[in-house]
A = this chain, B = another copy of it.
Amino acid sequence: MKSIAILFDYFSFFLRDKTLGDEIRKLKEGKADKDVVKERVNIMLAKKKQLGTTDEKPGKFVLKTAKGTRDYGPAQSALRDSVLQDVVKTFKKYGAEKIDTPVFELRDVLMGKYGEEGGKLVYDLQDQGGELLSLRYDLTVPFARYLAMNKITNITRYQIARVYRRDQPVMSRGRYREFYQCDFDIAGQYDLMYPEAECLGIVNALLTKLEIGEFFINLNHRFILEGMFAVSGISPKDFKTICSSVDKLDKTPWAEVEEEMIKEKFLKKEQTEKLGQLVRFRELNSGLSNLELLEKMSQLPELGQNDKFKKGAEELKVLIGFLEVDGVNSVRFEPSLARGLDYYTGAIYEAVAPKALEGTAAEKSEDTAGQPVGVGSVAAGGRYDGLVNMFDAKMKVPCCGVSFGIERLFAIMEARQKNTIRTTETKVYVASAQKNLAMERRKLLKTLRDADIESEMSLKANPKLLTQFQYAEERRIPFVVLIGERELQEGIVKLRNVVSREEKDVPLDSLVATIREALAAL
């Protein structure tokens, strides 16, 4: 058995290797992305190494992270933590519980929703004997699996975790293969639009809190799309593909979208003309409020009689009524919003912050394709009543939720921050003015830490005074406690304000109290 496997591998290597070699040469001649070339070369080297045909010295590592992933150093971690703190606070303000699920799932569980298309982007684990596993692609499918497996019909939960997609990474635009998702969902049988209002309330509250500048939440409904398509004479079987064209209207002019629908999706001009009047209804009727737009659409002869449209419009009117009382003013009814409709069954929504990067260094940067680095959706969601049912035919658990584009929010917050964030919470640095005071520093450090005051000292026995001061300044530690021979004899220490450089003597036995006061006054 083993010898066949090796033979097979060897054969496959030569075939692949030739292809790869050619490909690499081609890539190098053209203006291919450096990362692509590097990756291809690495595949070849790895293959050669496996067969013992490489000259590479053992123990020599390629010092990089996997393609599409990155490390978060202290500054990035601190920023992300501060954003996530706001996120979690907001979720908790709305009464959410937290759950966590494994990073990989049985492959069958994940493949249920995405089928062939999404499957290509899924990272599979190698079959090492045992179950066939894949890394999670989002948090929604594991959530539905969790509900079905535990027969939970009722929960308002959030989950913040990394997900994995073998996409072409566009790192300059914040698109990675490993990235955080941040989901809030309400599962349960509730009254019409109550859960949706909670989801939109959370989006509004969080984006307001993060101060990312002006933002809008576009709102639409599956039934409204279905109604518009029906009166335009578009067949239900084309629903998904036409949705994907229509959804481009936020970035692409109508003429282009129309051309695509005619040339690639074989709609007739009369169909697209009719559809265009409807999906562009907000654009063509600027200045109208959400309710006025819905009202005016309802008065259109055909559309107004379409049952799907009527039901969708009624539901959105209820939601808009709730949001008015809730003070959620950022919502815009947008009939061209058509995203995620392979599983959304009711209202859908998406938040955009078109000016979030305005005035920042990131505003004018371009990605590798020369496109401006824009900011797409920062949150998206909707109602999906069928997902849990897919896992357990006996369970009907209506769900509705929102997923924050937390990586985009991190990028926005990073671009907009005025001061570099501190990476530690150290409040006091314990320093000594002369040599041989290491044990005295230890004692002081213990006193401070015992009082739960974040404190550090140099880990050298005899550090220079200037070095200690510099460290405190660079790290923006607010206070230095300084000890010297004189202070030691008098039972005092010097408390130095690092910014103002003011110093004062403080008796040892009131040091903790004095520092607490000084910290409170900062």
Contacts and interface: CB of A to CB of B under 8 A. Distances in A.
Interface of A: 1, 4-5, 8, 11-12, 15, 39, 42-43, 46, 59, 61-67, 69-74, 76-78, 80-81, 89, 92-106, 108-109, 112, 123-133, 135, 145-146, 148-150, 155, 157, 162, 164, 166, 178, 186, 188, 190-192, 194-195, 198, 201, 205, 322, 325-327, 390-392, 423-426, 439, 442-443, 445-446, 449-450, 452-456, 459-461
B108 A442 contact: no
B130 A39 contact: yes
Nearest to A162: B103
Contacts of A126: 123-127
A52 to B, nearest CB: 15
A145 B63 contact: yes
* Number of identical protomers: 2
Q: Which of A103, A146, A322, A392 has the most CB of B within 10 A?
A: A103
Given A43-B130, A95-B456, A123-B126, 4 more contacts: A93-B449, A93-B452, A124-B128, A325-B442
A142 B42 CA distance: 20
A450 B328 CA distance: 12
A326 B457 CA distance: 13
Nearest to A451: B93
Given A43-B131, A439-B325, A71 B100 contact: yes
B62 A106 contact: yes
B64 A149 contact: yes
A105 B65 contact: yes
Contacts of A149: 63-65, 71
30 contacts: A8-B8, A43-B129, A59-B112, A61-B108, A61-B391, A63-B148, A65-B101, A65-B102, A67-B131, A69-B102, A71-B100, A71-B101, A71-B102, A72-B101, A73-B99, A77-B99, A78-B98, A80-B100, A93-B452, A93-B455, A123-B125, A128-B166, A188-B459, A190-B459, A190-B460, A191-B460, A192-B461, A194-B459, A194-B461, A325-B446
Nearest to A129: B43
A92 B59 CA distance: 35
Contacts of A95: 424, 426, 454-456
Contacts of A39: 130-131
A70 B102 contact: yes
A205 B205 CA distance: 38
